[in-house]
Amino acid sequence: MDATTSAIVWTKQRPQPSWLVRLFDWKPFLIFACMLPAIGLLMVFLTYPLGLGIWLAFTDATIGRDGKWIGLENFIWLAEDPIFWSSVFYSVFYTAVATVGKFGLGLWLALLLNNHIPFKSLLRAIVLLPWIVPTVLSAIAFWWIYDAQFSVISWFVVDVLGLRDRYFDFLGSAWPARWSLIAANIWRGIPFVAITLLAGLQTISPSLYEAALLDGSTGWQRFRYITFPLLLPILAIVMTFSIIFTFTDFQLVYAITRGGPVNSTHLMATLAFQRGIPGGQLAEGAAIAVAMIPFLVFATLFSYFALARRKWQQGESND
């Protein structure tokens, strides 16, 4: 009996926890420990490949041979290489024109879809199709559309309408090929822009439009003074993404022209791949890829600072 009723002896202090427990109770360490998996993932899958790519750009590595450090030699060669400069030109041109096209048409489409129309959800789903289809598939479709012998456009214009007597040669010379690829890229990029802008449009409070209507505003004024400014932050983000996607586009060009005719449609990304993997000049390919980084950083900074620096976005009032 005694044994079961013996009083529990309370000590005045709780026992000192072990060093391990104390370590994990220490907030800075805990934060660090919780972030380790994420840091590990980033290091392995992001920092290491990026670092390796940059390192390769300063070596003379080829497929099957480890490179030696050769400093800026790759870049000096590229600076004198007209094919590289033509790819820089076309990358910038392609990105600029395609982005303007995508945003013009995408915004227009978003405004149309924002209206009350029958079968609204179905239409929105259909609009997303070009974005959902794998790029290589749509590229192959465009390859057929632009084919020198079997183009449906040529067939329609020549054989059905009889407006021309020769088939179009879409991809046979430099500028038609360039514009054809830009058209394909715009077609593919519109849904992304349209749907994200549509989401942005729906966050704009209808009461603003009602107030504007009471003030007797025109449709253009409502767009210019309500829709556009309120859409601008989203526009900036979408624009940044779109520029990055377009500038680093690869599949469309590689599947349709492989950079031809005579290298006139090489983007920096396709040229980097072409030189690096099929050509085996790993280091030179890496150098071209590294040369893309400044353009991307500039594009990101530009759209962020030029379009998105509104005070209210940083929590202050807009003046």
Partner 1 sequence: MAYLITRRDGLKLTAASAATLALVEEARAQQIPTQPAEPPRLPIESGASLRVIRPARFVEPDETFFRANAEKFSRQFNVPVRVDFVGWEDIRPQTAVLANTGTGPDVVIGWSDDPHIYADRLLDMSDVAEYLGKKYGGWQFLAEKYGKRHGTNNWIGIPLGGSTGPIVYRISAVKEAGFDKIPDSHEDFLRLCQRLKEIGKPAGFALGNAVGDGNGTANWLTWSHNSFLTDEQGRVAINQPATIQALEYLQKLYPTFVPGTLSWLDPTNNRAYAAQECWLTPNGVSLYFALKNDPNTRHIAEDSDHANMPRGLAPDAPQTATIINAMVFRSARFPNAAKAFIQFMMEAEQYNPWLTACLGYWSHPLKAYDNSAVWDSDPKIAVYRRGLDYRYWSGYKGPITAATGTAASEYVLVQMYASVAGGQATPQQAVAEAERRARRIFR
State the residues that interact with partner 1 by CB under 8 A: 62-66, 77, 82, 146-150, 166-167, 169-174, 177, 257-263, 274-275, 277-281
**Other CB atoms within 10 Å distance of the CB of residue 41:** 11
Complete DSSP assignment for 26-43: SHHHHHHHHHHHHHHHHI
Least distance from C-beta 252 to partner 1, angstroms?
A: 14
Structure tokens at 314: 């940083």
Looking at beta carbons only, is 74 or 91 nearer to partner 1?
74
Least distance from C-beta 262 to partner 1, angstroms?
A: 5
Q: Are 139 and 252 in contact (CB under 8 A)?
A: yes
Looking at beta carbons only, is 189 or 285 nearer to partner 1?
285
Q: Which of these, 18, 41, 57, lies nearest to 287 by C-alpha position?
A: 57
Structure tokens at 275: 């030189």
Least distance from C-beta 171 to partner 1, angstroms?
A: 4
Least distance from C-beta 74 to partner 1, angstroms?
A: 10
Looking at beta carbons only, is 235 or 287 nearer to partner 1?
287
CA distances from residue 220 to 5, 235, 254 in whole angstroms, order as listed: 88, 18, 41
Least distance from C-beta 62 to partner 1, angstroms?
A: 6
Q: Which long-range contacts (CB under 8 A, 24 or more apart) does 72-75 make?
A: 74/283, 74/284, 74/286, 74/287, 75/287, 75/291
Looking at beta carbons only, is 90 or 170 nearer to partner 1?
170
Least distance from C-beta 287 to partner 1, angstroms?
A: 13
Looking at beta carbons only, is 24 or 77 nearer to partner 1?
77
Measured CA to CA, the distance from residue 207 to residue 217 in angstroms comes to 14
Q: Which of these, 255, 292, 78, lies nearest to 180 by C-alpha position?
A: 255
Looking at beta carbons only, is 64 or 134 nearer to partner 1?
64
Looking at beta carbons only, is 40 or 278 nearer to partner 1?
278
CA distances from residue 3 to 11, 39, 71, 291 in whole angstroms, order as listed: 20, 55, 82, 81
**Other CB atoms within 10 Å distance of the CB of residue 152:** 12
Least distance from C-beta 106 to partner 1, angstroms?
A: 29
With a CB cutoff of 8 Å and minimum separation 6, the contacts of 136 are 251, 255
Q: Are 240 and 193 in contact (CB under 8 A)?
A: no
Least distance from C-beta 275 to partner 1, angstroms?
A: 7
Looking at beta carbons only, is 77 or 298 nearer to partner 1?
77
